[in-house]
Structure 1
């Protein structure tokens, strides 16, 4: 019997291995940092010329940098943009990044002032998204993007995802990376009505399932990630 874990508006079931249905081709000038709060599930490897990020159907949140390189004389110059957070919805699609045709480093630096990019499907249509920046003041090296995104998702930004959704999709990404199918199924209207008629019981159930998801994700993490998570929880007291 499969175990189903319920979150607000979502039902997750873990079954046999399968790939997700949304794929994003990753060009060399895109550094994909996180997908749904977790390390990306990438086919082909980050250093392959044909790397592809694999995401679940539905709403997704990506965190990335735009890092184009330009030749100047016998040397190369590289621009590293601010960190972009974007939220979009897609299903059964193969997408590619699209950026302006900058000719040099000076032009490319305009990207930070006006982040102009797109996700394009096979028909050339742009996928609608909401975006924001993940701003970190001070030293940029060694940033804890997972902790930063957890805080970001508690803000009112249009690119933020709900806390329960963040936990759910983090579990989705972890499960897929382990070769496990994750089916995301909307809760039926009748289930929603029943939940509304029994708020106290539903609140208790949500608290339990949220705890289950936290424990699931925590147990998947390495020691360093666990330590960062503990530090983040303590910082919220």
Structure 2
């Protein structure tokens, strides 16, 4: 009976392990930083403020410098503006943010103007490429700011700016509206090939559909479609048939 029970327990454990989601990569920052968001979701949903486990692929991670520092004879907390990082995570990658040591408010203020750090892959022993964007400094109480909306608009503005300066033609116009999600759905749809557009249209109609293509255009389109509200989704579908 004891052996039989052990087999049942072991079988249940294997089943649990098989059904548990496998995280393919890790991102970690030093204790002088904090992870604020991963793909615009709170970092607490992925791990904690200093280390998160995520799937392989393209991700946007928002970090900021956050540390108690000396200022004259006093000690006060210093927080930098959020820094938006776009990173490509390979399977089993372990990326760590390496930053210079900062001990005074003066050093922190100087570094905040142009944050200096590298991102290192502990698995292959190499630095990795990343794209960095900084939110603008604002006065007033910081806890009243809507960081997610600010990040969405920063990302949309820079993405649209990059495409307008590139050489690739955009096959359909983007309607410049106040809805960032709508603009970005149009943008990524325009940047897709015909196979990707077809998969996107089928996926909109049936969210259980498994796309046959896999590329950054479809991933970003799906990301912004999920972020969009009902009106933005309706406007996009109307735009498709115009």
Structure 1 length-normalised TM: 0.57
Root mean square deviation, CA, Å = 4.1
Contact persistence 2:70–2:105 (CA under 8 A): no
Deviation at 1:124, TM superposition (A): 4.1
State the secondary structure of the residue aligned to 1:112. helix
> Tell me, which stretches of 5 or more residues in structure 1 are unaligned?
1-14, 168-191, 219-228
| CA displacement, residues 152-208 of structure 1 (integer Å, 9 cap, x when unaligned) | 3322349x9x969x99xxxxxxxxxxxxxxxxxxxxxxxx66x37xx7x66643543
- Considering only CA atoms, is the larger Rg found in Structure 1 or Structure 2? 2
Counterpart-to-counterpart distance in 2, 1:61 and 1:72 = 33
Alignment deviations for residues 66-108 of structure 1 (CA, whole Å, 9 cap, x no partner): 1233346874233211111110112121122211123422112
Q: Which runs of 5+ in 2 are unaligned?
A: 1-17, 163-179, 186-192, 210-221, 236-242
CA distance in structure 1 between the aligned counterparts of 2:76 and 2:127, rounded to whole angstroms: 29
What is the CA-CA distance between 1:119 and the residue it aligns to? 1.6
Instruction: Pick from 37, 40, 44 the counterpart of residue 37 of structure 1.
Output: 40
Higher share of residues assigned helix: 2
> How many residues get paired?
173
Task: Please tell me whether residue 66 in structure 1 is matched to residue 65 in structure 2.
Answer: yes
Q: Which residue of 2 aligns with 1:205?
A: 202
Structure 2 counterpart of 1:183: none
Indicate if the aligned counterparts of 2:29 and 2:98 stay in contact, CA closer than 8 A. no
User: 1:143 and 1:16 mapped to 2: Cα distance?
Assistant: 39
Runs of 4 or more, structure 1, over 6 Å off, are none
Cα offset, 1:28, TM superposition: 2.4
Q: CA deviation at 1:131?
A: 0.6
2:148 maps to which residue? Answer: 146
- How big is the shift at 1:117? 1.2
CA–CA distance in structure 1, aligned partners of residues 205 and 139 of structure 2: 38
Indicate how the Cα distance of structure 1 residues 203 and 124 shifts in structure 2: closer, same or farther if over 3 A, else same. closer
